[in-house]
Structure 1
Amino acid sequence: MGFPKGRRLVAAVVAALTCVGLVGVVVYRVLAPAEVVTPATAALPPVADPEPKVVARLPVAPLIVDGRFRVYAATRQVYADSPVDGRSRNTPYWSYRRWPAQVSGVVANGTTVLSRWSDGKLVALDALTGEVAWQADGPEPTEGWTSRRTGADAVWDPPGLLTARDAAGSTVVVVSGAERLNAFALADGRELWTVAVDSSCRSDVGTTSAGQFVAVDRCAEPVVEFRDLATGEPADRWRPPGATAELGATLVGCAAVRTNCRGLRTTGADGDATRGWLVGGKAPRPAPALDPVGAELDGERVVTVTDNGAVARSVRTGEELWRRGDLPTGTRILAVQPGRVHLLTPMRGLITLDPSTGAEHSRFALAAGRDGVGWAPGRAYAQDGYLAVERLKEPVAPDADDSRYFLTPEAVVLAAT
């Protein structure tokens, strides 16, 4: 005997609701916000000391951390591998994932790896273990993951994310969003200050070695704004002579990308000329040796490269300090780091010079495997004696998809210099 019609209907409704509930549980478990920490289990790798040469060909852009690790970013993951001079990307030493947020940018300072996410979350990881050191809520970035396949934009020049030392020597994290600018202590994630800003008419520049955060503010009259990193208070609103609404600024002489910098180069002022300045005092001081686009600052020396060779001058007096005329025509500065200037020749040779003397640290072909030298340099990064560079297909097609834009699937070459 079957169930009466009414009871059959109730049973069917209960069964349907049960199925919907089970599906809901599955959907929630799949799509709910999640955090997955996979800490290190292997022994701490030693600090590498490779001879000068190309050491690796990689599919993604690395950050060099503590001389032991390479740290990478993906859309929803930050991870590390070792050894730092391994020939290819290896199984992660540690990994950190979040869902559904996306990585916006990653920076490294000492043994702390700091990631910023599309929901505004800041996550600090211990680079030695991969464990979460702290988390904080910052302003949301305009977008989440915006990098191309290599992730270079996210790790080598992350938008709206900087670390620097304040005047007292403490390391500060500065995070900018559409409507506010926040600073946090790198040591423990404490919020130090917050300032309302309008990002539609201003742009971040970087930080100075004197403990100031620099931005170009075009909201009223165009000025270069300096803020105290420890307090967020404006230290100066400086207008270069002849500044126009197209005022722009670039920091040079930095310890890392746009971090702890000693020089500034302005555009959009005084006609079409570029002007170099020393920063860190009460007001920027003219430094004509820094005027040429491409001039780089290391300590008290400005290094430039022309068809006549490389020359170093005093940043304060312009006096010539050394000159090298043995460089191939067409050589250019590819990247700099404290104590090293990396030059790229037309045949993709890498020459690394000591900026204090002009002496050669190393010279070798920036070639890996059978990839050849028929490529154009993309983004480049230099840290702790290493140099990494994206290799692009010639002619460069910025709007092409990644398979046309990059030379090979392993588009990043890493060299010890």
Structure 2
Amino acid sequence: MTRKPLGVLTAIVLLAVAVLIGWRVLRPAEVVEAAKDPYPVAQILPAGVTGKTTLAPLIVDGRLRVYAGERSIKADAPVGARLMITPRWSYRRWPAKLSGLVAIGATVVSRWDDGLLVALDGRTGKVLWKANGPAAAAFTGRTGSDAVYAPPGLFTSDSSVLTLDRKQLTAWSVSDGTQRWSTPLPAGCSAGFTTVGGSFACGEGAWDIATGKPLRSWPVGPSTPVGCEVASSACPGLRDAAGQEWDVTTAEPTTGGLHLTTDGGAVTASGTAVWRWPSRATILGVRGEHVILLAGVDLVVLDARTGAQLSRFPLYVSDERVEPWKPYRWQLTGTWLALERLRPGAGTDPSEPNHFYTIDPVIIAAL
């Protein structure tokens, strides 16, 4: 007569244990694993390939490589490490999914699909602040290159992080996460970019990042950004609707600056410098006094003032197979390049066979 009550009790206990385990697994959670080692110094290395990584790194403060996962962020160092190594710090959230991340100085700001903005101290991995922002697109891809090089609706300026959602542009203070201003954008503003001079351009208009107010004097749009850093931010130039190139490194756009074109199988400079580099190439960007090109699978660094070639080397590690590949996304700093390589026939689906050049598709090089 006692077997049935005992069986019922056992079933109740097992159910309670299952509920407890399920709650622990599925409940919202945040896990911070802070750095234990001192903040690394910036490396200064001779020009050349230093390594390759499985995930696409955001190079932060010239000292860290920060990686995006579907539900986590982690960092390793030094930037010139040959492969990915044990993380210095990591940050995980559940069940939210990461949308993208950006960095201003040593502060890493992440945006999640539930709308939360989380700022991490890149030196330690500890949380600096949180803010409730608009919902965002969830993580896509395998390497995280979309999240770190082209985060959807996420931009930076000197002291603000900007979010764009459903034509609403909002500026957040990078120091404490407070909302500085929010303004609606007109139809046609599904994307945009920030300029070195402190503006946000989108569609046919532009806005002052300091105040959020529309700028009345601006080249006729829609504008095409030129030479931007990651996250379509800190763009030094733009082309207006007529194709005229403008320098936007100051608050007032001018027609000065260095203008580069790739017509006729050569790279030609005009404006503040006049020269011609007689080979076909893709312009990766201009950083300081250097013009960085991709010629086939070779990285080429030119003197921006004269066009003289300063260095040239193939973007392969020493023990890697040497076959053709094509670039997808990249980050260019003053001293580093991180570039994701795809197979020549790769389409738009990263899950397709033979999409990436190798299992470690992101090549890293010192400039």
TM-score, L = length of structure 2: 0.90
Paired position in structure 2 for 1:323: 275
What amino acid sits opposite 1:182 in the alignment?
A: T
Report what 1:154 is aligned to.
Answer: 147
1:259 — aligned with what? 233
In 1, the alpha carbon distance for the partners of 2:219 and 2:247 equals 15
Output one character per residue of 1:3-54: Cα deviation in whole Å (capped at 9) or x when no partner: 4xxxx76665554444333221111100011111011112322211111110
Partners of 2:228 and 2:345 in 1: CA distance: 31
Q: Provide, for residues 239-283 of structure 1, a one-character-per-residue CA deviation record: whole Å limited to 9, x for no partner.
A: 83xxxxxx743222446552233422245xxxxx63433447887
Partner in structure 1 of residue 307 of structure 2:
358
**2:201 touches 2:223 (CA, 8 Å); kept in 1?**
no
Deviations 1:138-189 (A, max 9, x none): 1111x2112x222111101111111103xxxxx0111122363321100111
Match of 1:380 in 2: 330
Identity percentage over the alignment? 39
Amino acid at match of 1:304: T
Instruction: Say whether the 8 Å CA contact 1:303–1:355 is kept in structure 2.
Output: no
Q: What is the alpha-carbon root mean square deviation over aligned residues? A: 2.6
Deviations 1:186-239 (A, max 9, x none): 0111111223457x74223111233222222xxxxxxx2222222222233868
2:71 alignment counterpart: 76
Q: 1:323 to 1:228 in 2, by over 3 A?
A: closer
Q: What CA distance in whole angstroms lies between the structure 1 residues aligned with 2:168 and 2:41?
A: 41
* Residue 391 (structure 1) aligned with residue 365 (structure 2): no
- CA shift, 1:336, in A, is 3.5
For the pair 1:225 / 2:201, whether they are aligned, the reply is no
Q: Are residues 1:215 and 2:164 paired?
A: no
Cα distance in 1, alignment partners of residues 20 and 29 from structure 2: 15
Matched, 1:274 2:243: yes
CA contact (8 A) 1:309 1:323 kept: no
Which segment is superposed worse, 8-17 or 397-406?
Answer: 8-17
Corresponding residue of 1:292: none
Q: 1:110-149 alignment to 2 at 5 Å? A: 110-141=105-136, 143-146=137-140, 148-149=141-142
Aligned equivalents of 2:347, 2:230: Cα separation in 1: 28
Asked if 2 retains the 8 angstrom alpha-carbon contact of 1:266 and 1:274, the reply is yes
2:274 partner SS: strand
- Equivalent residues in 2 for 1:1-400, closer than 5 Å: 2-3=1-2, 13-141=8-136, 143-146=137-140, 148-165=141-158, 171-178=159-166, 180-197=168-185, 201-216=188-203, 224-236=204-216, 240=220, 248-254=222-228, 257-267=231-241, 274-279=243-248, 287=255, 300-307=257-264, 309-314=266-271, 321-325=273-277, 327-328=278-279, 330-346=280-296, 348-368=297-317, 369-399=319-349
Measured at CA, do residues 237 and 116 of structure 1 come closer, stay the same or move farther in structure 2, by a change above 3 Å? farther
Structure 1 residue runs without a partner (length 5+): 166-170, 217-223, 241-246, 268-272, 288-298, 316-320
Equivalents in 2 of 1:110, 1:209: separation in Å? 15
Q: Distance in 1 between matches of 2:22 and 2:251?
A: 58
Describe the superposition over 1:275-332 as per-residue Cα deviations: whole angstroms up to 9, x where unpaired.
Answer: 43344788766x4xxxxxxxxxxx82112234453322116xxxxx33244x44x323
Q: Is the 8 A contact 2:194 2:235 kept in 1?
A: yes
CA contact (8 A) 1:306 1:331 kept: no
Deviation at 1:333, TM superposition (A): 1.6
Distance 1:204 1:345 in 2: 29
The AA in structure 2 aligned to 1:323 is: W
Q: Secondary structure at the match of 2:14?
A: helix
Larger RCO (CA under 8 A, 6+ residues apart): 2
Q: Is the 8 A contact 1:184 1:193 kept in 2?
A: yes
- Equivalents in 2 of 1:96, 1:282: separation in Å? 37
Is contact 1:106-1:115 (8 Å) kept? yes
CA distance in 1, matches of 2:188, 2:108: 30
Tell which structure's C-alpha radius of gyration is larger.
1
Residues 78-121 of structure 1, C-alpha deviation per residue, up to 9 Å, x if partnerless?
Answer: 11111110000101011111111111001111111111111111
For residue 354 of structure 2, give the secondary structure of its aligned residue in structure 1.
helix
1:318 equivalent in structure 2 = none
Which stretch has the larger CA shift, 122-131 or 348-357? 348-357
**Any stretches of 5+ residues in structure 2 without a counterpart?**
none
Residue 235 of structure 1 aligns with an amino acid whose one-letter code is L
Distance 1:323 1:40, change over 3 A: same
Counterparts of 1:127 and 1:250 in 2: how far apart (Å)?
32
Instruction: Tell whether the 8 Å contact from 2:198 to 2:251 is kept in structure 1 after alignment.
Output: no
Shift in alpha-carbon separation, 1:308–1:23, aligned structure 2, 3 A: closer
CA distance in 1, matches of 2:132, 2:150: 21
**In structure 2, C-alpha distance between the alignment counterparts of 1:413 and 1:88, rounded to whole Å:** 10
SS of alignment partner, residue 30 of structure 1? helix
Matched to 2:267, the amino acid is A
Once residues 402 and 86 of structure 1 are traced to their aligned partners in structure 2, the CA distance between those partners, rounded to angstroms, is 29
Whether the 8 Å CA contact 1:95–1:130 is kept in 2: the answer is yes
